[in-house]
């Protein structure tokens, strides 16, 4: 089980958004390269990077910055946000990115994602499912385009289509818990693992304490992403890594 500290990029800085709202961004660092290096110095082996501007706009404004983050830190890096073509994916792979995180593209252009899987191998792709609980509590809706739109398909149908195509790495974020330190949606992850036991599932959203990480450890997950809890001092990266040391 791997721990992924997260760096979200907006206008060249490390930020965290509240519920995905760009007008509610808190800046936690002016130098993302230095932040990535500091995570490596604290013992991290993996890093999760989100190009927030790219996710919203379908571009890659931070591509060169991300390349420098990868090269300077030496971490195993996965990147999401703004990956809309095979050429963009190839550029990130050439820059040393280990895994490409695809969300909106996987819904709107599955043929492109399947081409990526063929060209780079399914091990280098992560399917991102960003979900919101329905108001009646019966299921989840799938958000795309930087969480600004609701997809016409269900998260389950998208997941099943890619499992059939050989993809296994999935990152699932409960948007209602992201950035609010309310605890991860363990029931959602348990449900996904029970339905699809072959998943290499990454948890994201809501981690607020070491107790949350300990609860995540009890599930057969591939790893978890932590962001705001680190930046606000709920625990240190060293403490979080220790929680996962024997997982």
Q: What is the mean pLDDT of the chain?
A: 92
Query: Who contacts 155 (Cβ-Cβ below 8 Å, separation ≥6)?
Result: 129, 131, 140, 141, 142, 172
Q: Which residues, at least 6 apart from 35, have a Cβ–Cβ distance to it below 8 Å? A: 7, 14, 28, 29
State CA 179 to chain mean position distance.
13
Amino acid 25: pLDDT: 86
DSSP code per residue over 20-34: TEEEEEEEEES-HHH
How far CA 76 is from CA of 17, 35, 220, in Å, comes to 24, 15, 21
Percent of the chain with pLDDT over 90: 79
- Secondary structure letter of residue 180 according to DSSP: T
Residue 58: name the closest of 148, 170, 159 by CA: 148
The residue-averaged pLDDT of 209-235 equals: 94
pLDDT category at 246 given cuts 50, 70, 90 is: low
Q: 122-133: per-residue pLDDT in tens?
A: 999 999 999 999
Catalytic residue numbers, as ranges: 8, 130
CATH topology (fold) of 2-244: TIM Barrel (3.20.20)
Q: CB atoms < 10 A from the CB of 214, how many?
A: 12
CA–CA distance, 241 with 51 (Å, rounded to integer): 24
pTM: 0.93
Q: Among 7-16, 59-68, 144-153, where is mean pLDDT lowest?
A: 144-153
Domain coordinates of the chain in residue numbers? 2-244
What's the alpha-carbon Rg for the chain, to the nearest Å? Answer: 16
| Secondary structure of residue 153 in the 3-state scheme | coil
Give the number of other Cβ atoms within 10 Å of residue 102's Cβ.
Answer: 26
Residue 166 has a pLDDT of: 92
The dihedral built from the CA positions of residue 18, 21, 26 and 27, taken in this order, carries a sign that is positive
Q: Which residue has the higher pLDDT, 241 or 147?
A: 241
């Amino acid at each position: 089980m791997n721990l992924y500290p997260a760096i979200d990029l907006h206008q060249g800085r490390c930020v965290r958004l509240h519920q995905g709202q760009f007008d509610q961004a808190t800046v936690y660092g002016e130098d993302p390269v230095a932040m990535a290096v500091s995570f490596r110095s604290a013992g991290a082996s993996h890093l999760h990077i989100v190009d927030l501007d790219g996710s919203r706009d379908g571009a890659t404004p931070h591509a060169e910055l991300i390349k420098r983050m990868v090269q300077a830190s030496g971490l195993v890096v996965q990147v999401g946000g703004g990956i809309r073509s095979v050429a963009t994916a190839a550029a990130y792979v050439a820059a040393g990115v280990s895994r490409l995180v695809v969300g909106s593209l996987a819904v709107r252009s599955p043929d492109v994602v399947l081409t990526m899987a063929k060209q780079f191998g399914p091990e280098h792709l992560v399917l991102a499912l960003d979900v919101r609980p329905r108001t009646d509590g019966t299921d989840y809706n799938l958000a795309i385009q930087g969480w600004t739109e609701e997809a016409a398909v269900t998260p389950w149908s998208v997941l099943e289509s890619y499992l059939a195509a050989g993809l296994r790495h999935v990152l699932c974020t409960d948007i209602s818990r992201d950035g609010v330190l309310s605890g991860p949606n363990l029931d959602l992850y348990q449900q996904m693992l029970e339905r699809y036991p072959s998943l290499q599932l990454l948890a994201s959203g809501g981690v607020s304490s070491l107790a949350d990480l300990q609860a995540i450890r009890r599930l057969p997950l591939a790893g978890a992403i932590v962001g705001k809890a680190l930046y606000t001092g709920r625990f240190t990266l060293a403490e979080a890594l220790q929680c996962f040391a024997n997982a």
